[in-house]
Amino acid sequence: MSLFRRLFPGRFLAAGVALAAFLAVSLATRLALLALNGDASLAHPAILAPALAIGVAYDLAAGAWWVLPFAFLAWLWPDGPRSGRPFAIALVALAASAFAAWAFTAASELVFWNEFATRFNFIAVDYLVYTNEVIGNIRQSYDLRPAFAAIALAASLLLAASWRPLIAAARPAGMGFGARTLVFAAFACAPAASFLAVDDGLKEFTPQAQAVQLAGNGHWEFFHAFRTNEIDYEQFYRTEVAAKAWSELRREFEHAGRPDFTGSGAMPIERVVHGAGPEKRLNVVLVSVESLGAEFVGALGDRRGLTPNLDRLAREGLFFSRVYATGTRTVRGLEAISLSIPPTPGYSVVKRPNNEHLRTLGEVFDEKGYESLYVYGGYGYFDNMNHFFGSNGYTVVDRTAIPAADIHHENIWGVADEDLFTQALREADRRHAAGRPFFAHVMTTSNHRPFTYPAGRVDLPSGSGREGAVKYTDWAVGDFIARARERPWFDDTVFVILADHTSSARGKSDLPVEGFHIPLVVYSPRHVPAGRVDHLASQIDVAPTLLGLLGFTYRSRFFGQDILTEGATHQRALLGNYQTVGYLEDGLLVELRPKGAWRVVDPATGGALPATEHARHLVDEAVGYYQSASRAFRSGALRAGAT
């Protein structure tokens, strides 16, 4: 008897057939992702061979769960002489359903990889929660007919290839219930064994991020992300004694200036920031633009002419040329802008429980007599935005407040940017008429797949791709500024325009620095002189810099710094993805990873660098930022009233 039949005796052969089919689909998916990635270096035997070998381990770990229904059927179904035909029908129906599910998952992985350059992760878990937006986005972005035809074809081919062994497995084998129970017990133990034996670190065989992702398995990665969507920094990452971490962080601020620390026990970096000169009670409109990476912006070197309006504002305003986003998703950008906090591992604070009454940028403006607004063109329940902003000092205005008569175009993510800006102007007019200064954080959506917008605005057709969406968003920003210029409040308003994140963070390393580079412009012709600032800075520095420009004196729990003052002598950036968080300074990038792992890399190449004394000092600084930020949130020290 062959080894295969020993492992899968009697009707349990059906489980073996299913496992073989699952392994074949997983291998085909891995090779398709390799081809889609387009990086020939990944096909080098020294990279591809271990990726495929390690991939088999993840495939078996995931397959152990998928074969359970087949083993369960073989265990429970009577193994008598008349049971062959009904068992065959049930078995074929189960196999057809499983094959269709695997083909669908493989197709979904190709789409996900094309968008995020990674296997399934916590973003995919989010997609289960926000099915309306996700399914709508897919329907509006792709012609699903060929996709579903391909899925049906793949499932049919799998079924055809498995037909004969499945029919053979359906034949009565004469195994008694006791013997079947022993075999099924082994199948039932296999998933538990795989859960204990296979972890996320197994695939970390190379620093090349895309190769690591290829070694994974989408099914395994999805459920791993589902289980670990909130990560305790102090449990899984390099740490110091809490007092030392806070001390390291305090030195960061002392290095940059002379902070007036308050002596807070809960938040050792709490300080009073003293404004220079009299406070300017100017209105503020902060526009965070969806996915506007530096690679699209003419002022940052692009030559396609996609952003003429933003380029003009960069010339006429105060332009910050070396600002880096903290993450790769909108909620990370919102977190960095509103809370001025590093991107701690796992979910953004915007989506975590117990995120109410935090010390936000909106809270600071509220203390100065402003009304803080969060204006969004989509439905704010998405990504928990309504709850977060509504619980942290902002009046929320989302898609539900926008009259149908004012909508020129909308897709699944929200109204066109020009319609969002119309609503923002209306909200600003109301506050001005009431004699109250306002701070409005406006979040756009048009530069997002399916990339649709009103016809006739730009010379690229709606739905044609990212370039057209960038060009339309730039047009909408220019139109917004032109319409705002006609308002009585324009001269006494500061406009801040930056991206929430870039369109892609694809690269050879976990944190490809170029994939986090974003534009930042401060525009207020009467109050902010034009200029260019080339200091390396982070998205968490936006709030302190804005408040510094206004000359505000305020109590700060922000982890960011004023780019124009402290940032001149202390240049650094913080960036992260779901699990790896980074600290960029002095041409070195520190990466902190789970299991206490860390390394220092060349940000240009992603190659590891020696752990020199200076590099280790930067590691300590990175730990100071991330450990302290994580502790501050979990302990409640970020809350507005904490002492």
Query: In this structure, what token pair is assigned to residue 354?
Result: 């117990």
The span from the CA of 322 to the CA of 517, in Å, is 7
Rounded to the nearest integer, the mean pLDDT of the chain is: 92
Q: To the nearest 10°, report the CA torsion of 118, 119, 123, 124.
A: 150
Q: Is the dihedral of CA 416, 417, 423, 426 positive or negative?
A: negative
Closest CA to 208 of 505, 508, 504: 508
Q: Provide the pLDDT for residue 1.
A: 47
Structure tokens at 87: 């068992």
CB 615 within 8 A of CB 623: no
d(CA 311, CA 273) in angstroms, rounded, equals 32
| pLDDT at position 600 | 96
Q: Give per-residue pLDDT as tens, 569-617.
A: 999 999 998 789 999 999 999 999 988 999 999 998 888 999 999 999 9
Tokens of 301: 């070197």
- Residue-range domains of the chain with CATH: 3-227 (no CATH), 236-635 (3.40.720.10)
pLDDT band at 131 (very low <50, low <70, confident <90, very high): low
Mean pLDDT throughout 232-260?
A: 90
pLDDT-derived band at 450, boundaries 50, 70, 90: very high
Residue 256 predicted with pLDDT over 70: yes
Rounded Cα distance, 563 and 170, in Å: 71
- pLDDT grade for 347, boundaries at 50, 70 and 90: confident
Q: How far is CA 524 from the centre of its chain?
A: 32
Is the bond leading into 450 cis (omega within 30 degrees of zero)?
A: yes
CA–CA distance, 599 with 582 (Å, rounded to integer): 10
Q: What percentage of residues in the chain have a pLDDT greater than 90?
A: 75
Q: Of 93-102, 254-263, 472-481, which gets the smallest average pLDDT?
A: 254-263
**Contact assessment for residue 335 and residue 350, using Cβ atoms and an 8 Å cutoff:** yes
Q: Is the pLDDT of residue 258 over 90?
A: no
SS3 518: strand
pLDDT tens-digit map of 361-374: 999 999 999 999 99
Task: Give the pLDDT confidence of 523-555 residue by residue, as tens digits.
Answer: 999 999 999 999 999 999 999 999 999 999 999
Is the backbone peptide bond immediately before 345 cis, with ω within 30 degrees of 0?
no
The two tokens of residue 592 are 């902190």
Q: What is the token pair recorded at 525?
A: 């012709």
Cβ atoms 476, 513 nearer than 8 A: no
Q: What's the whole-model pTM score?
A: 0.82
Identify which of 290, 286, 285 has the alpha carbon closest to the alpha carbon of residue 414: 290
Query: Which tops the pLDDT comparison, 132 or 68?
Result: 68
Which of 210-219, 227-236, 373-382, 508-517 shows the highest mean pLDDT?
373-382
Share of the chain above pLDDT 70, in %: 96
What average pLDDT score do residues 118-134 get? 68
The residue among 468 and 256 whose pLDDT is bigger is 468
| Mean pLDDT, range 415-425, rounded to an integer | 97
Q: What is the mean pLDDT of residues 235-259?
A: 90
Average pLDDT for residues 387-407, to the nearest whole number? 95
